[in-house]
Amino acid sequence: MLNFSDRLIESIKKKNSVLIAGIDTSIENIPDYFIKRFYDKEKSEIDNLKTILFEYNRRIIDAVEENVVGVKFQAAFFEQYSYHGFEVLHKLCEYAKNKKLVVIFDGKRNDISSSAKGYSNAYLGETPVFGKKIRFFEFDAITTNPYLGQDGIKPFVEDCERFKKGLFVLVKTSNPSSADFQDLMIEDKYLFELVAEKVYEWGKNCIGKEGYSDVGAVVGATQPEAAKRIREILPNSFFLVPGIGVQGGKVEDLKYFVDNNNMGIIVNSSRDIIYAYKNYVHSDFEKSSYLASKSIKESINAAIS
């Protein structure tokens, strides 16, 4: 089996795209006409929730698959619906995998020792059950928080090596208050630079045939100056870049994120795609999401070519 980074590169070349669709859907933002179409008064609120959440997101995936290399499921938007949301997440993960899309779990998980291993078992690897190993989710990659240091990252890295999966470690995030900690100076370096150095170390044994590490970094699109510094530290790592559009990141700044080969990034867009119907004259959310993803893909390609 190919390394995660190699599979990602194959998908990028096949689709001529580095765009990732972020699936951050809440029921209250789904069009009323769609809810009315699927809402069944004979069923419980929970059953209607599961049906509508799955059917809307399934159609988003269908609409954008031509223009994206993958989808990123933000855990919070499923966890808010308790285990019912995770039931839908499981179905959507399988659905996206069957579409041959790269599937990322954005849960920013971390803990230490056996707790971190439990998270990694769940989303990257296999969980021991009665003497057997069961794979509960089929995600290709996961986002992690490095705050606990190597103890919290090591189980994920080991499963990346074993199962050819990917890891995106938070390095410099797109939110304004990221500066509270990430921009602290320690001797002559920013904290985010020290984290990037650790990411480089953690990924040295997960190098694919194309020369890229399976351990990458989350670098927000609102942070082009930081991206330049991080790229110097991580010349052969993929950046997962959220924050274009609604969060204020500019597509034209993506040239500061790519590597010397104009590669090394995947760019997430969520609300501008999944709620694109709000910005288009017609109310067909599937057509709106298709047009939005096509436009974003083309603008990104123009910026980094």
Euclidean distance between CA atoms 150 and 29, whole angstroms: 39
What Rg do the C-alpha atoms of the chain give, in angstroms? 19
Q: Is 5 exposed, middle or buried (0-12, 13-18, 19+ CB in 10 A)?
A: buried
Enclosing H/E stretch for 88: helix 82-98
Contact yes or no for 128/108 (Cβ under 8 A): no
Question: Known catalytic residue: 108?
Answer: yes
Catalytic residue among 15, 50, 72, 108: 108
Here the tokens at position 48 are 């209607």
Quick one: DSSP state of residue 28? G
Q: E strands within the chain?
A: 19-23, 70-74, 102-109, 127-129, 132-134, 141-144, 166-172, 185-186, 189-190, 213-219, 237-241, 265-269
Euclidean distance between CA atoms 275 and 196, whole angstroms: 33
Q: Which residues are catalytic?
A: 108
